[in-house]
Amino acid sequence: MHTRNLLARGFVTIWALTSFAALSAAVCTEWAQITTETESDSNWSTRFSEKVDQQKCPETATTRCKFAGPKKYHVTIDPRLITNVTHLGLDSQERDAIFRLAADGYSKATNSTSRTAFVKLEGSVNTEELFATDSPILKFDPGFNTSLLFVPYMKTSIGKLGGCTNASLNGLQVSAAAPYLQRDSKSNESIIAGTWGSQGERSVPIQPSTTSATSPVTTSPPRPTSGTYKQMNATGIWAWWVPLALAWSAYCL
C-alpha cells in the first residue's frame, strides 16, 4: 500500500511538470467557435463505444445466453479529434493545444460557469441496473459472439483554428469531442455520462441465404451509469488543474 502511495505521488509530480511544459508550447492560439453538441439521454450515438466484455453463446444452446453479473468494469474514454485534421499526423502538443482551445470555446458557447476540460476520463461502471430491469442488452442468441458496450456521452466543440505555428492548420474547421461527467441521482456522485449497448457476430460459418453475420448495435433505455471516476490529464491541461490534481492525490492517499 505504501509503495502504491509513493508511486502515485511520483506520477502526479511528473504529470504536473509535463502539463506546465505543454502549456508553454501551445501551437495554436485562436479558435473561432462555430457550434457545440452535447450527447445526453435523449440524443447519443454509439461511435465511441468501449467494449467491456465479450461472451460466446454455443450454436447448440437451446435458449438465449446472458452476460454474467452484475459486474463492475473499468473504462477509459479519450478525447477525440473526429474531423478534418485526423489525416495530418499531428503531434501531441498540436493535439493538446487544439483540445484546450476547443474546451475554452465550448465553455463560452454553453455559458458554463467553469471551464470544462476536454481530457481523458477513467473510472468504473457497473451493470447493476441492467440486471435489476432484466435488460435485453444482456441477452444474445446461440451462435453469436456478443460484445457488451459502454456507450459514453460526448460533448463536441466545432470551430476554426488560427494563430498556429503550423501554418497548415490555420483556417481549418475542427471537431473535438470528449467525455463528460454527470451527477448520479442515486449516489449523488459524479460519474462518467453514458449508457449501455451490445453487438454480436456469428461465431460459425453462415449460409448463403443469411443476410448478415453481424447484428446491429442494441442500446439500453437511456439512463446514467453508476460507478466512480477519475479525470486523467491529456498532457496540455490548464494550469489550474495541476494544483487541483495534487490536492486530490493527497486526499486519496
The closest of 158, 156, 159, 161 to 30, measured between CA atoms, is 161
Distance CA 80, CA 233 (A): 14
Give 208's DSSP letter.
T
Strand order in the sheet with 80-83: 30-38, 154-162, 173-179, 80-83
Q: Between 144 and 231, whose confidence is greater?
A: 144
What is residue 4's predicted lDDT score, i.e. its pLDDT? 36
- The separation between CA 39 and the C-alpha centre of its own chain, rounded to angstroms, equals 12
Distance CA 99, CA 121 (A): 14
Q: Which amino acid is at 195?
A: T
What is residue 215's predicted lDDT score, i.e. its pLDDT? 57
Phi then psi for residue 248, to 5 deg, are: -65, -40
Interval 153-201: pLDDT, tens: 999 999 999 999 888 889 999 999 999 998 877 777 888 999 999 998 8
Residue 99 in contact with residue 79, Cβ under 8 Å?
A: yes
Please tell me whether the overall predicted TM-score, pTM, comes out greater than 0.85 for this model: no
Residue 68 in contact with residue 127, Cβ under 8 Å?
A: no
